[in-house]
Amino acid sequence: MTDSYRDGVVRRPVAELRPGDRVDLEADEYADSPLYHGYSRTFSEHPEWQFEYEVVGRVELETPDCIAVHFESGFICGFPSEHEVKVDESCGPDMGEAGLNAIGKLRL
């Protein structure tokens, strides 16, 4: 994966997201953009994102310029193919069972 680290935050291209990745969508310019919905910058339709990650369920190439990310919560968002999102590097699909157990996210 081609993660980048900027301002202490891990960012990953949406095309490289995998099921199980935990994504921080708070203030994301596409997923949580009040301007997209016609509101002021201080409004968010997803105030829970201040405290919660969205977990990737699947990633789908809709068009060459749009990648749809389906989250386990049922939320779906289309992102430009070059867009990067903030991810939680402590949990992901390559972490393995021991790591998932350590944070209590193992689903049997």
Q: How far, in Å, CA of 41 to CA of 62, rounded?
A: 28
Closest C-alpha among 105, 89, 85 to residue 97:
105
pLDDT of amino acid 103: 39
pLDDT of amino acid 41: 53
Decide if 85 contacts 25 (C-beta within 8 A): yes
Alpha-carbon torsion, ordered 85, 71, 55, 23, to 10 deg: 10
Q: How far, in Å, CA of 31 to CA of 78, rounded?
A: 8
DSSP assignment string, 23-81: EE-TT-TTTS-TTTTT--TT--S-GGGGT-PEEEEEEEEEETTEEEEEETTS-EEEEET
Give the pLDDT of the chain (108 residues) as one tens digit per residue: 678 777 678 899 999 999 999 999 888 888 886 655 555 555 566 666 677 899 999 999 999 999 999 999 999 999 999 999 999 977 544 544 434 443 343 333
pLDDT of amino acid 34: 60
pLDDT of amino acid 97: 41
Tally of CA atoms within 13 A in the half-sphere of 86 that contains its CB: 16
Report the predicted TM-score, pTM, of the whole model to 2 decimal places.
Answer: 0.71
pLDDT of amino acid 61: 95
Q: How far, in Å, CA of 98 to CA of 31, rounded?
A: 31
pLDDT of amino acid 98: 37
Decide if 23 contacts 72 (C-beta within 8 A): no
pLDDT of amino acid 70: 97
pLDDT of amino acid 43: 55
